[in-house]
Structures are given as structure tokens and as C-alpha cells.
């Protein structure tokens, strides 16, 4: 089974690139973030024509997530149960017996801001919910744009980013707490090239200079961990004309 996550930064703009990527990378499931579309505008017909079932959950202008799968997903959940949240950030479904949780984690803007407090609240609620989900689904994968660089080796310039958003102790503690549920960073199960990022700023020729962050992640449950065969960041779409600022992350297991 092959799965992927991709923050497309506007599906209206990136739909042609998504269809092109799916044709070249026929994954079994894919979660998207930052679709930035209200549900009535979601391009489900084009995605279905490409051979995928799709569930979507969006809003105007910001956020928005989707779950694409070869086999239709079951037991769809939108956002975190019990968390009063106006922002469309989570879509989960069961695909071929695996609980797939796709998330667009809050950015947080800056430590100390209201948005940072929301990020912390959201992460608390996510962890509490996932603890319950794991009781019911031994095979679970949490993937998406976490907006957290877990360690300094996930940051192109750790000194400049020290204490900045995505790199604060509080965010990293939340990432470790998710790992504490028995979720494993699939990317780090394997030897990886140094300076491997999933996001590069649009400014400053950051992609060309390979200045980025690894903030898009795939976390697999204990039951899945021994089956994982590979986890890679696909930089190819970042070389497109008008690319998303994020690259897809792809995971494969038996």
C-alpha cells in the first residue's frame, strides 16, 4: 500500500499538477491540505475521472483538506470530535482496513500569539482523539502538514530558526507526545539524505538554495511500523512552474 500527503496551496491553482502527479504516482491514497475551496467548488469529478474516490472538507479562502483513495474510504470523520473548530483541518477515513488521518495543523504564526494558543489547544485535542482512535484501529497513519520541524536536523538554519514558529520547544514537545502514543516518524525509519525538507519558502530562491524545513510528516502506528518499506519526499513537483511551496511525502508498506 502506498500513501502520500501533499499541501497543494490552493487546489484551484494546483489541480492540473495534482492530476499529473497522480498519473505518475498511482498511490492507493492521498491526503491534501490547503485546498482553499468551499465544498461546492471542490473538483471531485476530475479526481473521480482519474480513478479515485474522494472525500473533502473545506471552507472559503483558507485551510481545507481532502482524502483521495482507490477504494472508497469508510467511516469518514471531519475535524476533531469534541473540538469546537471553525477551521477545516482534519479528514479521516478507513481505507483497506487502515485508519488514515489527514491533518493540516495550525501554523501558529508566532509564539505567544492567539494563533499559537489555538495551535496548542488543537494539538491537545488531536492527541486525545488519536489515543481513542488507536484503541479501535491498530493500523493507523497520521499524515499531513504538521507545521512542526521536530528536530534541528529538520531545519536548514537551526540557529536562525531557534525558538521561532515551527521550532519552539512547545511544538516539538507536542510532536514527541504524538510519538508517545506509539506513532513513528516513517521518514526517520530509514537512512535519508542530509538537508531533506518538505517545504521551501517562495522567497529568496529558497528552493534553488535548498533552504527549507521538514514539516510534512507521516506517523505510523506500532502495527504498521514493521511493514513500512520506504518513506520519501518527492521534490519533483516543487520544480514545476507555479509550484506549491510544499512537496509530497510518500510512504509505502506491505
Active site (catalytic) residues: 104, 145
Gap between the Cα atoms of 112 and 6, Å rounded: 28
- From the CB of 76, what's the least distance to DNA, in Å? 23
Other Cβ atoms closer than 10 A to 191? 5
- From the CB of 206, what's the least distance to DNA, in Å? 9
Give CA separation, 165 vs 170, 243, 246, in Å. Answer: 10, 23, 17
Q: At what angle do helices 169-180 and 114-136 cross, to 10 degrees?
A: 10
250 sits in the region (left: phi over 0; alpha: psi -120 to 50; else beta) called beta
88, 199, 217, 248: which one binds DNA (CB under 7 A): 199
245, 247, 250, 253: which one binds DNA (CB under 7 A): 245
Other Cβ atoms closer than 10 A to 75? 10
Q: Tell me, residue by residue from 214 to 243, as one string, x for binding to DNA by CB under 7 A and - for no binding.
A: -x--------------------------x-
Gap between the Cα atoms of 149 and 83, Å rounded: 24
Q: Tell me, residue by residue from 76 to 115, as one string, x for binding to DNA by CB under 7 A and - for no binding.
A: ------------------------------xx-xx----x
What is the H or E stretch that residue 41 is in?
Answer: none
What is the H or E stretch that residue 94 is in?
Answer: strand 90-95
DSSP 3-state assignment of 95?
Answer: strand
- From the CB of 238, what's the least distance to DNA, in Å? 11
247 interacts with DNA by CB under 7 A: no
Binding to DNA (CB under 7 A) within 139-178 occurs at 145, 147, 165-166
213, 249, 250, 251: which one binds DNA (CB under 7 A): 213
Q: Which residues bind DNA (CB under 7 A)?
A: 7, 9-10, 12-13, 34, 36, 60-62, 106-107, 109-110, 115, 145, 147, 165-166, 199, 201-204, 213, 215, 242, 245
Amino acid at each position: 500500500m502506498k500513501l502520500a500527503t501533499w499541501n497543494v496551496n490552493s487546489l484551484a491553482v494546483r489541480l492540473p499538477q495534482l492530476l499529473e502527479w497522480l498519473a505518475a504516482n498511482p498511490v492507493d491514497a492521498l491526503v491534501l491540505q490547503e485546498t482553499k475551496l468551499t465544498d461546492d467548488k471542490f473538483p471531485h469529478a476530475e479526481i473521480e475521472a482519474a480513478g479515485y474516490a474522494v472525500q473533502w472538507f473545506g471552507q472559503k479562502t483558507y485551510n481545507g483538506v481532502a482524502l483521495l483513495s482507490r477504494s472508497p474510504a469508510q467511516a469518514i470523520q471531519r475535524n476533531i470530535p469534541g473540538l469546537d473548530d471553525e477551521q477545516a483541518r482534519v479528514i479521516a477515513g478507513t481505507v483497506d482496513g487502515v485508519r488514515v488521518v489527514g491533518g493540516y495543523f495550525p501554523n501558529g504564526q508566532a509564539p505567544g500569539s492567539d494563533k499559537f494558543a489555538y495551535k496548542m489547544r488543537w494539538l491537545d485535542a488531536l492527541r486525545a482523539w488519536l489515543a481513542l482512535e488507536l484503541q479501535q484501529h491498530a493500523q493507523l497513519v497520521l499524515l499531513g502538514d504538521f507545521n512542526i520541524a521536530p528536530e534541528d536536523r529538520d531545519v536548514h538554519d537551526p540557529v536562525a530558526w531557534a525558538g521561532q514558529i515551527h521550532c519552539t520547544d512547545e511544538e516539538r514537545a507536542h510532536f514527541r507526545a504524538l510519538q508517545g502514543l506509539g506513532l513513528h516518524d516513517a521518514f526517520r525509519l530509514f537512512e535519508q539524505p542530509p538537508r531533506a525538507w518538505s517545504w521551501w519558502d517562495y522567497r529568496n530562491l529558497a528552493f534553488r538554495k535548498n533552504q527549507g524545513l521538514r514539516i510534512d510528516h507521516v506517523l505510523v502506528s506500532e502495527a504498521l511500523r514493521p511493514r513500512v518499506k520506504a518513506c520519501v519526499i518527492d521534490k519533483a513537483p516543487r520544480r514545476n512552474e507555479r509550484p506549491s511551496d510544499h512537496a509530497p511525502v510518500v510512504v509505502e508498506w506491505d
